[in-house]
Amino acid sequence: MQDKTKPEELLEAWIKLSAIIKNTRVTKGLQYNEATIMRLLYNRYREDKAGLISLKEITLKTRMLKSLVNRTVNSLEKKGLLERCESIGDRRVVYVRCVPENLKEYLSVHNQSLTLAQKIINIIGDEDAEAFVRLTEKIENAVIRPK
């Protein structure tokens, strides 16, 4: 049997990691896409306390299809976790923001994810965790957001 090539090893590792993340339900309580959008909204809210993000920006940052972003936003709106906001100026642009009064529901899910991340750090150590973050960002910048 022939040895695996580096690309085959990388692909296999990537698939294993994806399966681990999916099967451990990192986003317990929310669907994966809901948690992804809420993370963006929460991070923006922490930055400026307004937390406004356009649907276009969500689509660009998550790389989700526009229709999936719309469905997910509708679901989060029904759950009371986000709300749509009127655009000043260009009425074609739709903004959403998290509902601060209901953030505790999202933070419960988020804190469970952070607990899992800490368990992983405890297993692999700080140095490998920092390397993982650095390499992931490098891949994102080179492959997903080519210059």
How do the domains of the chain map onto residue ranges? 29-144
pLDDT in tens, 28-83: 678 888 989 999 999 999 999 888 999 999 999 888 999 999 999 999 999 999 99
Q: 10 Å Cβ neighbour count for 41?
A: 23
Cβ neighbours for 22, distance < 8 A, ≥ 6 positions apart? 32
Give the start-end residues of each E strand in 17-147: 53-54, 82-85, 95-98
pLDDT at 22 over 80: no
> Which CATH code fits 29-144?
1.10.10.10
pLDDT in tens, 82-135: 999 977 777 788 899 999 999 998 998 888 888 888 998 999 999 999 999 999
Selection from 37, 48, 124 nearest residue 82 by Cα: 37
- Contact in structure between 79 and 109 (CB atoms under 8 Å): no
Residue with tokens 């994102």: 140
What is the torsion angle, in degrees rounded to the nearest 10, for the CA atoms of residue 124, residue 125, residue 127 and residue 129? 60
